[in-house]
Amino acid sequence: MIHAVPGLFLRFEPAAPPAPLVVDVSRSGREYPKEYRSPLPFTTVHDNVSMYVEDLWAGTPAAGGTLLYCCFPNTWVDVNRNEADMDPAVVDGEWPRPLKPTARTLEGLGLIKTKSRYGEPFQERRLTVAEIEERLARYYRPYHAELKRLVDETHARFGVLRQISCHCMSAVGAPTHPDAGKPRADFCISDLHGRTSSPQTMALIADTLKGWGYSVSVNEPYVGNELIGRHGDPGRGIDSVQIEINKKLFMDTRTFRRTAGFDRLKADLDRLLRVVAADALKRA
């Protein structure tokens, strides 16, 4: 069953006996709000979408999990950033609360993106306080509220929870990324250096993928961010893991088309979902 809030999210309910599994695909949205503007060509804008991720993880309901898909683009407002993680230079006026931008945000990749992955200016002007507050009130906070509801209700039902936050990454680090110019593994799994997941769940995911012939990095080059940071609590049985998939496995970045590798990868992710769901049920 699918529940939709137009322009905000799609929620796919379990199609098998429910398991303590919530999967969020939160940075792949392509429903551009009518007010969306950027001086960049659409191809450059679209290249900042984590494409096909919702298709790759579409087997979540069949594994007994719930899949939450964010419809709006991360370049409108990025739900994988804290509200305070914003570059003050993007604000036209004085932001009413203290801002705490990270180094990556000051390079352009914060709550409101100021640069594309290759460094082109993303905004044609600074945004007013009212404009940014509207994005938070209409998009960012409602999406996070729905994800929190799913996490809380699933954990209350089973006593444990596995949250997988799903993304994709370039084959080589882009200029605005911490590993600029370096080749990347097939998968990067992260847990904020042990803060959001138990070692057992991290090992289960990494070892399963390695057993199928994939290379896996842990907390390198990505460590995770807001989507797992809000919910991961291993002490309470909530393991939240961010998974980045290398685009070279499933798409041609020049044409944005799927490649022959897509079907094999999708089948392996279906298997991974079943492995994680079964392990979580054993621990419930």
In a domain, 21, yes or no: yes
Structure tokens at 199: 């070692």
Question: What's the structural domain count of the chain?
Answer: 1
In a domain, 211, yes or no: yes
Check if the beta carbon of residue 35 is closer than 8 Å to that of residue 23. Answer: no
In a domain, 141, yes or no: yes
Mean pLDDT for all residues in the chain? 96
Confidence band (pLDDT; 50, 70, 90) for 153?
very high
Distance of alpha carbon 163 from alpha carbon 273, whole angstroms: 11
Check if the beta carbon of residue 90 is closer than 8 Å to that of residue 123. Answer: yes
Question: How far is CA 46 from its chain centroid?
Answer: 16
DSSP run (H or E) holding 176: none
In a domain, 279, yes or no: yes
If we measure between CA atoms, which residue out of 140, 165, 177 comes closest to residue 9? 140
User: At CB < 8 A and 24+ separation, what contacts does 39-44 make?
Assistant: 39/121, 39/123, 39/124, 40/116, 40/120, 40/121, 40/122, 44/116, 44/118, 44/120
Say yes or no to pLDDT of 180 above 80. yes
In a domain, 79, yes or no: yes
If we measure between CA atoms, which residue out of 256, 219, 189, 206 comes closest to residue 45? 256
In a domain, 76, yes or no: yes
Check if the beta carbon of residue 166 is closer than 8 Å to that of residue 180. Answer: no
Kindly report, residue by residue over 183-199, the tens digit of the pLDDT. 999 999 999 999 999 99
pLDDT attached to residue 177: 77
In a domain, 170, yes or no: yes
Would you say how long the chain is, in residues? 284
Distance of alpha carbon 74 from alpha carbon 238, whole angstroms: 25
pTM, whole model, 2 decimals?
A: 0.97
| Residue 182: domain span | 2-83+116-283
In a domain, 154, yes or no: yes
Q: At 241, which CATH number?
A: 3.40.630.40
pLDDT attached to residue 30: 96
Check if the beta carbon of residue 234 is closer than 8 Å to that of residue 198. Answer: yes
Say yes or no to pLDDT of 139 above 80. yes
Say yes or no to pLDDT of 118 above 90. no
Distance of alpha carbon 23 from alpha carbon 65, whole angstroms: 7
